[in-house]
A and B are shown apart, each in its own frame.
Chain A
Amino acid sequence: MQLSEKLISSFLAFELDTDINSTIHGIRTSAIKKFEELGFPTRKLENWKYTSLNRVIKEDYTVFSKKKNVLDFKNVKDYFIDNIESYKIVIVDGFFDPFLSQTSHDGLDICIMSAALNKPKYSKIIKKYFNKTANSEDSLTSLNTAFSKEGAYIHVPKNTVLEKPVEIIHFATGNEAALMLQPRNLIVVEESSEVEIIESHQSLTDNPVFTNSVTEIFSEKNSKIDYYKIQDDVVTSSLIDNTYISQKRDSDVKVHTFSFGGKLIRNNLNFFQNDKSINSTMKGVTIIDYDQFVDHHTLVHHANPNCESHQDYKGIYSGKSTGVFNGKIIVDKIAQKTNAFQQNNNILLDDKSTINSKPQLEIFADDVKCSHGCTIGQLDQDALFYLRARGIPKKEAKALLTYAFANNVLESVNIPELKYKVKKIIAKKLGVSLGFDL
């Protein structure tokens, strides 16, 4: 049976399992209908021109993991960030793991989606925010909406600055031969509050995992959100990450995406600027090899005056890997004084690697400053020679230059422990034991 058929037929079973009287029952039903109508996206769609899901959806995935698995902290310790105090939301095979997690209800809510969806005290917020910014015309988002059950739920009330970051980790234990996961996250940050979030997905075995995640983020007036995505999974797992961010006046949201692993990664990162003087930043580093595939699709919708957006994506591709960058900026008629900047730099290291880049501007206002730049090139041979002439071996010299190329993005990471971890991953990826702390 094809995966899409399997999903549609499992929906009935899923509905029986969950509360049919739940407030979002109607949303789920219309979402599955949308998915039934659209199916999985194909390369015939302009947005999927370069990305084929065929090699991902051909596996026979189990749609719901049957049992809860318990993980021992010492076995998964490496996947957390070292030496840092943090809130933790840990989800194992789609189920919340209360032992590894460290949630909080102390003046704020850092807990899980299933609680938020089922407990009456959250119903007001769910009603106000759930599925409000996610694109209900998108097939994969609709699929996630239909099966939305578990994920992270974070609600930060007014004037609250979180003193430690929130780590969200999704583990797949490999108990199923092939598993499909659909986490759904909702993050609401109220007026003048600040939060830092680190999200990652991790398979513990080589069994194929297909994650179709949707995250909705609401950044209210004058709030500040730093969101970090670490995508360093095993090469048998695939990830489709749909993130929708709705911003209000004077808010500042930054999203950093580090894509190092996985078989296929597709990031759909969407920013909607719903008021004046908003700042949106998205940055990313992609370093991949073998036949890995990473696709970054960004959309910034400037719908109001005096807003800014900054994009900076760096990609380094070796082996037979393929990278896609599609950055879309829309500036509405009334969004005067918009300042939108976009940059995409790529390095191809092998002659089998490919990059497809499509920076796209759609501008309807005249008093704007919009620019984009895109380059594809190689490491500077002169710089390489310079380093080697000073006794640095070729591999290390290449690694240093690569690191320098990606450094612009790393510089704006505000959590030192996280920066250290990313640097370590980059060194590992490049096969060197440098700390890059020169």
Chain B
Amino acid sequence: MAYTEEELKKELETQEYAYGFVTNIEADTFPKGLNENIVRAISKRKEEPNWMTEWRLSAYRAWEKMEEPNWANVKYAKPDFQKISYYSAPKSKDKYESLDEVDPELLKTFDKLGISIDEQKKLAGVAVDIVVDSVSVATTFKKTLSEKGIIFCSISEAIREYPELVRKYIGTVIPPKDNFYSALNSAVFSDGSFCYIPKGVKCPMELSTYFRINQAGTGQFERTLVIADSDSYVSYLEGCTAPSRDENQLHAAVVELIALDDAEIKYSTVQNWFPGNKNGKGGVYNFVTKRGICHKNSKISWTQVETGSAVTWKYPSCILKGDNSIGEFYSIAVTNNYQQADTGTKMIHIGKNTKSTIISKGISAGKSQNSYRGLVQVNAKAENARNFSQCDSLLMGNKCGAHTFPYIEAKNNSAMVEHEASTSKIGEDQIFYCNQRGIDTEKAIALIVNGFSKEVLNKLPMEFAVEAQKLLEISLEGSVG
């Protein structure tokens, strides 16, 4: 065999974070600290209407009274909210008419990220909105989309151009006072993506947003709002990276999905924020609130591949309000070195004949801790609600941990709820079987992990599935212990 286990372990530990570069773009950054003036200043910089400024301020006042929650199964040094800069924008002109005007440095960044805002994407058929340090810098394919009546732009643009749509829906799924980080986000969010699919329209291409934290000492607070009007369909992708830095960076996003009658939203995330180095120094704190509401006969499907971040804390949820609505959650969470993840979902069954599926795969290696935390709630009026949950954990080495905290609450006698969970390791016999057939240990593990995660990987759109598979391999090469 080419590798011994020790060598593999070493290689894994020294595995560099491939996206850890910093781009030298001049940035327009606010002074550190948070107070009402900063909130006002952000709102002013964004040229927002009055109601938005007030909305932010009320969220800020609520946030001031809140305490940072600590029930999650993660340990970290609490961020000092006065040491973060709440606004950082790549310094450039306000808007780009075409790609030629974009700072070439920025374009290089996209190249390194593997996002080409050009022909390639046309072939792939993906429209991309890119958010660097909380500000949306480029949106592609606007024209093709607008022909169909689809609105896909940055949220600050949406606030200016489509205030009635934003005002009607923002904060309806995740009220600003919902939790500590959603309140913070509501007060200081600087940008994000907005997407509206009109009635009866099937979005012809995948919509995609790339997030990147570039500037040091900044927090990224983006806000995404996706509205699928009656009988429409959209598939939305989200990817994240950040440079390697010694200090911890904060990312506190809010994502709201609204699926009106008969609509379907598919939301996929590949999260690859900087996870910290092998000694657990640095990395991004990823505290995200994601929630969708399903009206009659609609469907929301969350798919996530979580490989990055020092601390991940997120629960993409579905409120199944309408009758016959469907919620799905597919997740792969990989933790290595000192990473910690506490992730899962909430499925709230309110309407009749609602269905939900939860498939969660946790893979822990190194000294990491990986938790699944989920809630399946069947309310008294949710006749014939159906849920199936499965969470499997794979452990590599005896220094990591895998935890499950499922909450199941049923108040209706016609509910059918199933939950199963298992924890295991990669079998020595499985590896031996592969070795015997000339597959080295490293490849064998990749093979087995792929098989383990296949159910979830299958749910990703093609372009993402390939990337996700690669990420899994990078994160876990040879970490059998």
Interface residues of A, Cβ cutoff 8 Å to B: 46, 333, 336, 346, 348-378
Contact = CB atoms under 8 A, between A and B. Distances in A.
A359 B406 contact: yes
Given A366-B395, A368-B423, A354 B404 contact: no
Given A361-B421, A372-B420, A333 B399 contact: yes
A356 B416 CA distance: 13
Nearest to B373: A360
Given A333-B398, A361-B423, A366-B396, A376 B416 contact: yes
A310 to B, nearest CB: 15
B405 A377 contact: no
Contact of A366 (B398, B417, B421): B398
A304 to B, nearest CB: 14
Given A351-B412, A361-B404, A368-B424, A374 B398 contact: no
A363 B416 CA distance: 28
A30 to B, nearest CB: 28
Contacts of B417: 374-377
A353 B413 contact: yes
Interface in B386-428: 393, 395-425
Interface in B408-466: 408-425
B76 interface: no
B22 interface: no
A377 B401 contact: no
A350 to B, nearest CB: 6
Nearest to B397: A366
Contacts of A361: 393, 402-404, 421, 423
21 contacts: A351-B380, A354-B411, A355-B408, A357-B410, A358-B406, A360-B405, A361-B403, A362-B401, A363-B395, A365-B398, A368-B423, A369-B422, A371-B423, A373-B419, A374-B406, A374-B418, A374-B420, A375-B416, A375-B417, A377-B418, A378-B413
B449 to A, nearest CB: 14
Contacts of A364: 398, 400-401
Nearest to B408: A357
Contacts of B424: 368-370
Interface of B: 71, 378, 380, 393, 395-425, 481
Given A362-B403, A374-B418, A376-B415, A356 B409 contact: yes
Given A348-B412, A366-B481, A376-B408, A359 B402 contact: no
Contacts of A378: 413-414, 416
A363 B398 contact: no
A351 B410 CA distance: 10
Contact of B413 (A349, A360, A368, A374): A349
A367 B394 CA distance: 10
A355 B410 contact: yes
A398 to B, nearest CB: 13
Contacts of B423: 361, 363, 368-371
A349 B412 CA distance: 9
Nearest to A355: B410
Contacts of A355: 408-410
Contact of A377 (B71, B402, B416): B416
Nearest to B409: A356
Contacts of A362: 401, 403
Q: Is the interface of B mostly helix, strand, loop or mixed?
A: strand
B409 A366 contact: no
A363 B406 contact: no
Nearest to A368: B423
A364 B421 CA distance: 16
Nearest to A318: B413
Contacts of A357: 406-410, 419
Nearest to A361: B404
Contacts of A360: 403-406
B407 A363 contact: no
A377 B412 CA distance: 10
A140 to B, nearest CB: 22
A264 B422 CA distance: 32
A363 B401 contact: yes
B460 to A, nearest CB: 27
Contact of B425 (A349, A366, A371, A374): A366
Contact of A354 (B398, B406, B409): B409
A17 to B, nearest CB: 43
A369 B400 CA distance: 15
B366 to A, nearest CB: 12
Nearest to A371: B422
A371 B424 CA distance: 9
Nearest to A359: B406
Contacts of A368: 395, 423-425
B403 A359 contact: no
Nearest to A338: B423
A367 B419 CA distance: 23
Contacts of B399: 333
Contacts of B393: 361, 363
Nearest to B426: A366
A336 B398 contact: yes
Contacts of B411: 354
Nearest to A365: B398
Nearest to B412: A351
B295 to A, nearest CB: 24
Contacts of A358: 405-408
A6 B417 CA distance: 44
A292 to B, nearest CB: 16
Contacts of A351: 380, 412-414
A365 B395 CA distance: 8
A245 to B, nearest CB: 23
Nearest to A333: B398
A370 B396 CA distance: 15
Contacts of B380: 351-352
Contact of B422 (A348, A366, A370): A370
B99 to A, nearest CB: 49
Identify the interface centre among B405, B408, B411: most chain A CB within 10 Å of its CB: B408
Contacts of B408: 355-358, 374, 376
B404 A375 contact: no
Contacts of B409: 354-357
Nearest to B370: A363
Interface pairs A-B: 5 shortest CB-CB:
A366-B395, A348-B413, A376-B417, A374-B419, A357-B408
A353 B410 CA distance: 8
